[in-house]
Amino acid sequence: MTAPDPLTGLNPVVRARADAVLDRHPTSRGLPDLLRRVCEDEGIEVHEADLRDIAGVLRQVNGRWRITLHRDESASRKWFTVAHLLGHYFLHAAPGRTFVQTMLPRGGGRR
């Protein structure tokens, strides 16, 4: 049985950009490896810091793109945040733009 396509139903422009990224970066070694390689290939630095109520930030620092993750988040949440911020990078990153991913509330609630 084939796994469902997680990109089904996306806007055609978003789908085309996602397909282009996946064509350049095979996913056979798992999501963390894929995200790590995409960041390396795009020249995006990944750092951790105490960001209080922010899960991650994507911005340019000295002309280079950087993702800063909240150091106290779980590994799976950090990878989710990297993936989310890479979406912003590929769709609408431009010099001077900053993207902030807020933290989800503790306990599984929704905002």
How high is the pLDDT of residue 17? 82
How high is the pLDDT of residue 13? 83
How high is the pLDDT of residue 111? 36
How high is the pLDDT of residue 28? 67
Per-position pLDDT tens, the chain of length 111:
565 566 667 788 888 888 888 888 777 678 888 899 999 999 999 999 999 889 999 999 999 999 999 999 999 999 999 999 999 999 888 988 999 998 866 554 433
Tell me the H-state helices in the chain.
12-24, 31-42, 75-92
Tell me if 60 sits within 8 A of 96, measured CB to CB: yes
How high is the pLDDT of residue 46? 97
Residues 97/111/68/78 CA torsion (nearest 10 deg): -130
- Spatial distance between the Cα atoms of 67 and 100, rounded to a whole number of angstroms: 10
How high is the pLDDT of residue 106? 58
